[in-house]
Structure 1
Amino acid sequence: MTETVDVEGADTTIGGSEGTQPVGTYEVATSIVSVELSGVEVEARVSEPLGAPGLRPGVVFVHGAGTGRYERAFLAQAEALASSGVVAMVPNKRLDTYTTRDRDYTAMANDYLRSVTILRDLPGVDPARVGVYGESEGGWIVPVMAADNPAVSFVVLVAAPVVPPRQQAAFAVDSYLRETGVPVELLRSIPRFVGMDFPGGGFEYGRFDVTPFQQRMRQPVLMVYGTGDAAMPTVQGALELIEDLEVADNDAWTVRYYEGADHGIRVDGELLPDFARDLSAWVQALPASADAAPKVAGAEPYQRFLAEPVERPRWYAEGDLIVAALVLSLLALLTGPLAWLVRRLRGRRGRTLADGVLGPLVAMGAGSVITFLALVAYLLVVANMAQNYRSSTFVVQGGWLGLRMLGIATVVAGVVLIYRILDGRRRGSESAAQTLAGEWTLAGTVVGSVLLLLSLAYWGVFPSLW
């Protein structure tokens, strides 16, 4: 990352906030309303300031990734806004059309716009001052809602990815794993995994591009990041949004960075009071606060790497083929045990493989399976550590070293096997496989092991091979 955002000062206080009410001014009343969507109904919690005079501005909250229930989401934000005189509405996320494989951000935007319509019609709400607040994944939905839509009077984007989902996923995983201290070989495999088409299809939303919608947003925009959020391109996101708003001829934008705050602008699990203060002031003071100085303020953000487009892997690394190769390798490795079992059931005894072949063959087959399972276990452990911002040199580096040693030992067993087969042929002694069952055992174990070892090499266990 070579560009940067010019932060004009450390004070995040929103200018143009004269006459606004601070957080905590009013008592808050909550109620539940129903939102009719196409084919389903969801509930929404409305938080209102008791005794606030006149028509009040309103905010509809748009959830990030996950289930999105009003009982848990945006509680502190809605309370802060309502206690300062802003009506806040948190609808439940529609889940019947939202899965890991399939998401339609345009359809989700249309669903959330139904909540905007309801909030605009509530008593005590100024329909000309109702905006939307999107956090994380909501940063791909809110611009769709706001593009060319005067019903949305302002936009708040918190921890917005800006770049397409696949690009964002690769960036986030890379950032988390770098913080954990994983080997560079593992980092190189991230785009290979994120860029492939997954088995069974789906995940088309991973290529969703929010840029055309941001370029049609003409409302005032408040963009917020926490400097402790490693998952987001905190510099690149702001720069790209500003460029998109320039296309819309919109200079009514404000950017705020909060020191040490995480993805939800929290520190130690609590919503940052300065953020609640600034959010409330910005919403209340509109339109005066839309272009109030400073436009960029707060802590100095840092982004080491760009969130770049993820290329499609080569044909042999697509999800369906990877799964097919894995299944084929396991079936091939089962050939030997099944052949041995069939011979036993038929009462046949005697050798199926020549002397000196069985040992390295078993070591090669078992080693490839153990190494593959060890890789899966290692990835799960490291992923858990990365999500919880933990690191351990012994686990991360020591585990990777042990994994590579297992892989090398398996390759050595394969080399010994080949040497003994060739040596037997050179000396004109008996064949490596004594029976048909032996031939199937030898072929199946070698084929299955080679497929697993190639897969391990692709994911970085043998980086020198690729």
Structure 2
Amino acid sequence: MLRSGGRTVSRVRADVDRHVGRSYRVAASTALGVVILAVLGAVMGPQWDPVPLADPLVVETSSTAIGSAAPVPEYDVRTSVVSVRLDGATVEAQISEPVGLDGPKPGVVFVHGAGTGRFDTAFLAQARALAASGIVAMVPNKRLDTYTTRHRDYVLMAADYEASVEVLQSYPGVDPEGVGIYAESEGGWIAPVMAAEDPSIAFVVLVSSPVVPPREQAAFAVDSYLRNTGVPHGVFRAIPRAVGMSLPGGGFEYADFDVAPYQREMRQPVLVVYGTGDASMPVIQGAEQVLQDTAVAGNGDVTVRYYEGANHGIRVGGEVAPTFLRDLSGWVLGLPATGDAEPRVAGAQPVQTYVAEPVPEPRWFGDGDVVLALAIASVALIVLGPLAVLVARGVEEATDRVRRRRGAAVTVAGPRFARGVLPRLLALGAGAIGTVLGLVWYIVAVARLALDYQRDDLVVQGGWVVVRVLGIAVVVVGVLLLRRCRRIRLAGQVPAPGVVRTTVLWSGVIGSVLLLVILAYWGVFQLGI
């Protein structure tokens, strides 16, 4: 009995040792696979390491008041709608003008930011405030037949807005030599083109102007939004890989448009305005570049104002900042004296942590069409194989049912996957696809939080952990499938007999590996390297 009991204990210990050894080998193989994917992810594309802004712009005073501007008067406002003929199109524009003011009046043409841009929804507060102070304001509808997400031409758009300038210059009661332009956001890439090519434009107002090329501004904005949202450090690697590549479907040629050459030809007085609560714009770097670029043209008439807590539209609490409207009217009415009035840089002290700089181009996955095609092909390899097998089995069973009814012999069952292979193969493919979908969900969820200036650690931190755990789980399943196939071959059997099943096995494995490589590229397996 003792001897029999000893042999039982020995067998139990041997089983435990084998189980521990098997678990150790699975864990070691998984760790090796994750490291390989981490190294691939690191070498396949650029890292993200923005340069801190070392030379901040210091305001001269906290007051935004324009030094030599007179008190702003107040008039009733009358509006009318006119048509503006463009090259190949016609748009409507709303003109707001003061009632009861005689004599030539200055005028302002508004240049829209990104989006549809209609006079009945855009610049309502600004146009009314200008008109109430004695300035004729014109808000044209944006031309949309030549403006899409993929294609836009800022030089051609400048020509379209120039038509509105000509209309306002000839409008009754407007001083043709006193018409300037007000550009917001994306309009900051258009207005300098207009000013450089039309010396008759009297002044330029740049509000929340990106200044740097669109691709640089996009990377800067994404970085700022992600930092405000509190995402893990590993997520930032995706910035240059997403912003730096060409997007699927082509287009977006304007992403590298450089407005600096046009700013270096601006000789008009310029008012530069930012809100300190605008995380999407390089608020210090933008103002500094405008100052530097206009200096090349010998233009020292640049006034910079920062408004405390104001967002991208210079709004505080949902309303356009009243002090901004006062300063805007005072600056326009006081020209040319206000063009070089002191203080030159004033308002709330802006903060910009990092420099908006050129985005490195991905080395391997720089073509978005290639990335998308590779992802679709990988999913197809995973899905179509098992579907083909299921269809073949369905046809087989349907044929057998018909033959049984007729009393004929049934089909001899063809070869099947070896035991344990198909479940692991299906789990591998489903896990890889599921992890990709999880990553997409995470990106969308974080983007929504970022754009709403919200934080949610459960989504931001927990979601990233879930995605990474899913990725590691897929590697574990891949290791288990590989070990299972190896044991089957050592036993003298074939994991996937027949050409069809061999093809299904290899297509599933290749498709899953490709998806794992794509996930590694986007940072799912990174280990700080």
Q: Which TM-score band applies after superposition, normalised by the shorter structure?
A: over 0.9
Q: Which residue of 396, 401, 417 corresponds with 2:465?
A: 401
Q: Which has the higher contact order (CA 8 A, sep 6+)?
A: 2
Q: Which residue of 141, 145, 149 corresponds with 2:198?
A: 149
**One-letter amino acid matched to 2:509:** V
Q: TM-score, normalised by structure 1?
A: 0.97
In 1, the alpha carbon distance for the partners of 2:168 and 2:297 equals: 27
Please show how residues 9-408 of structure 1 align to structure 2 within 5 Å: 9-18=61-70, 20-22=71-73, 25-334=74-383, 335-347=385-397, 349=413, 352-408=416-472
Q: Which residue of 479, 483, 502 corresponds with 1:419?
A: 483
Unaligned runs of 5+ in 1: none
The question of whether the paired residues in 2 share the 8 Å contact of 1:336 and 1:444 is answered with no
The question of whether the paired residues in 2 share the 8 Å contact of 1:64 and 1:136 is answered with yes
Partner of 2:8: none
Specify the SS of the correspondent of 1:391. coil
In 1, the alpha carbon distance for the partners of 2:359 and 2:80 equals: 45
Q: CA deviation at 1:351?
A: 5.5
Q: CA deviation at 1:465?
A: 9.0
Unaligned runs of 5+ in 2: 1-52, 398-410
The question of whether the paired residues in 2 share the 8 Å contact of 1:61 and 1:89 is answered with yes
Q: CA deviation at 1:32?
A: 0.1
The question of whether the paired residues in 2 share the 8 Å contact of 1:164 and 1:210 is answered with yes
Confirm or deny that 1:438 pairs with 2:518. no
Q: CA deviation at 1:435?
A: 2.7
Q: Which residue of 43, 54, 57 corresponds with 1:5?
A: 57
Partner of 1:462: 525
Q: CA deviation at 1:441?
A: 1.8
**One-letter amino acid matched to 2:223:** D
Taking only the aligned residue pairs, the percentage that are identical comes to 56
The question of whether the paired residues in 2 share the 8 Å contact of 1:225 and 1:263 is answered with yes
Residue-by-residue CA offset, 1:243-293 (whole Å, 9 max, x unaligned) = 101101110000000000000000111000000000000000000000101
Q: CA deviation at 1:93?
A: 0.1
Q: CA deviation at 1:339?
A: 2.2
The question of whether the paired residues in 1 share the 8 Å contact of 2:212 and 2:286 is answered with yes
Report the structure number with the largest CA radius of gyration.
Answer: 2
**One-letter amino acid matched to 2:60:** E
In 1, the alpha carbon distance for the partners of 2:305 and 2:260 equals: 21
Q: CA deviation at 1:352?
A: 2.4
In 2, the alpha carbon distance for the partners of 1:317 and 1:365 equals: 26
Q: CA deviation at 1:148?
A: 4.5
In 2, the alpha carbon distance for the partners of 1:184 and 1:37 equals: 48
In 1, the alpha carbon distance for the partners of 2:357 and 2:257 equals: 14
Q: How many residues get paired?
A: 462
Q: CA deviation at 1:350?
A: 5.9
Q: Structure 1 stretch 430-439 or stretch 286-295: which is displaced more? A: 430-439
In 1, the alpha carbon distance for the partners of 2:442 and 2:104 equals: 57
Residue-by-residue CA offset, 1:95-114 (whole Å, 9 max, x unaligned) = 00000000000000000000
In 1, the alpha carbon distance for the partners of 2:426 and 2:226 equals: 35
In 2, the alpha carbon distance for the partners of 1:286 and 1:74 equals: 22
Q: CA deviation at 1:368?
A: 0.3
In 2, the alpha carbon distance for the partners of 1:413 and 1:178 equals: 34
**One-letter amino acid matched to 2:390:** W
Q: Structure 1 stretch 220-229 or stretch 302-311: which is displaced more? A: 302-311
In 2, the alpha carbon distance for the partners of 1:272 and 1:388 equals: 20
